[in-house]
Amino acid sequence: MPVIDFRVRLPAELRPPAETPAALREQYDAELDISTSARRGLADLREEMDREGVDHAVLHAEFEFGDPADALNDAVARCVREEPQRFSGIGTVSMEPLDIARASEQLDFCKAAGMVGVSIQPSFFHTAIDDRRLYPVYAKASELDLVVCLHTGINYGVTHPIRNDHPLMVDQVACDLPKLRIVACHAGWPWVTEMVAVARKHPHVFLEFGGLAPKYVGAPGSGWEVMFRFMNSVLADQVLFGTDWPVISQTRALAEWRALGLKDAVLAGLLGGNAARLLGRDPAPGR
């Protein structure tokens, strides 16, 4: 089976210049050391993938403030066009303000550029996952057969309430749009039991663990116990390896996942088999 990193941040060198608001930067640096990791570039990503045997990575055009969506989409599209065997792309739509006509055009661009989905982080724009204003975007993505990646669980923006990231809102969207393939980014902690229930109910909801240290998923008392049990059984086909590189290195993430004692078939699906099916890629490894 291949190894596919389903969540990699677009390197800073390819992103439009922007001054991160202090309310986001300070707490994210305290928790995840974003400023240090952001200095790693595309060449560093290629080198780490080669060293760790990561066959493919999915570049995300996610953002947390402002309106860099078009520039991010252009950058992701260029990477996918130049190295399609190494990279797939997840685009995005403008959120501030949310203009449905413009978002529709951005979705058309993502599809035409060969991207596999779009990333939306509603909570960073004080919007709930199941806000009805987003439904035309979700519906258009479903029509275009684009995966929708949604931020779930805790965020560290001290002015952004985490109630807008609750996974029960994913349940509502999945009920209303039963053909839409949804990836719950960061897998919904601290509402792990609810996230597991939503995924168990909806086979087209996938769980991705980017930005997390995998060792905690298997650690008693971490809040991940229900997830670890179910991902090792009935949710085995719905879990995706993601790092949120460079926030978590592929070196660290792979070592920690492999040390958790998951069933061999579950680990193979997690590290690449499930993503290969979701992306419609040949499951054979190699670039």
How high is the pLDDT of residue 286?
Answer: 43
Cis peptide, bond prior to residue 68, ω within 30 of zero: no
How high is the pLDDT of residue 36?
Answer: 60
How high is the pLDDT of residue 35?
Answer: 61
Give average pLDDT by consecutive 10-residue segment, the chain, 287 residues.
Answer: 95 82 60 64 96 98 92 97 97 96 98 98 96 98 98 90 97 98 97 98 98 96 98 98 96 98 98 96 56
How high is the pLDDT of residue 5?
Answer: 98
How high is the pLDDT of residue 285?
Answer: 46
How high is the pLDDT of residue 23?
Answer: 63
What are the structural domains, with CATH classification, of the chain?
4-279 (3.20.20.140)
How high is the pLDDT of residue 166?
Answer: 98
How high is the pLDDT of residue 17?
Answer: 78
